[in-house]
Amino acid sequence: MKTLLEQMRQEIGERALDIRQVSPLALAYVGDTVFDLYVRTQLVLTKEEAPKLMHTDAVHFVKASAQAQMAKYLLDSLNEKETAVLKRGRNQKSLSVPKNALLLDYKWATGFEALLGYLYVTGQSERLYELMHRATEWFTEKENVQ
């Protein structure tokens, strides 16, 4: 059985853009959704809570300050290409910054999301899962210690 991404790639085929032509902000757009889905799925599979409480838990992970910390944590374990994608995303100019985020955190979070989007779109699902899992595990441990 094909994954959704495999089905989409087959359908789009030759019309698909070269990944180098996709803007880092577009990759971050996808990465934001991929990470949100990962976090929400983890919560559904591990907690017996009302959706409202799960949403509160999810926000803890998907907010810019948390993603910025996760990006910095992962940076030393990324390969050259992954580092370049993260940095391109981090360095992109954005037209707006969410009211509850610091500009520097928002930039790092955008880089983190661009990396996740890149891994998703290029079909590197094992690496994508590995990085999301490591980042959220580290962040959970870090938050529990403080």
The pLDDT tens digits along the chain (146 residues) read: 777 777 767 766 666 666 777 899 999 999 999 999 999 999 898 888 888 888 888 888 899 999 999 999 999 999 999 999 999 999 988 767 777 888 899 999 999 999 999 999 998 999 999 999 999 999 988 877 44
pTM for this predicted structure? 0.88
Q: Provide the pLDDT for residue 17.
A: 61
Per DSSP, 47 falls in state -
Using an 8 Å Cβ cutoff, are 19 and 118 in contact? Answer: yes
CA distance 78 to 100: 28
- Six token digits for residue 37: 């889905």
Per DSSP, 112 falls in state H
What lies within 8 Å, CB to CB, of 82 at 6+ separation is 115, 118, 119
3-class DSSP state for residue 49? coil
CA distance 92 to 131: 22
In the chain, what are the domains? 22-145 (1.10.1520.10)
Look up 105 and say whether it is catalytic: no
Of 32, 36, 57, 105, the active-site residue reads: 32
Q: Provide the pLDDT for residue 16.
A: 62
Q: Provide the pLDDT for residue 74.
A: 97
Q: Provide the pLDDT for residue 46.
A: 86
Using an 8 Å Cβ cutoff, are 30 and 120 in contact? Answer: yes
Using an 8 Å Cβ cutoff, are 86 and 75 in contact? Answer: yes
What lies within 8 Å, CB to CB, of 25 at 6+ separation is 89, 92, 94, 110, 114
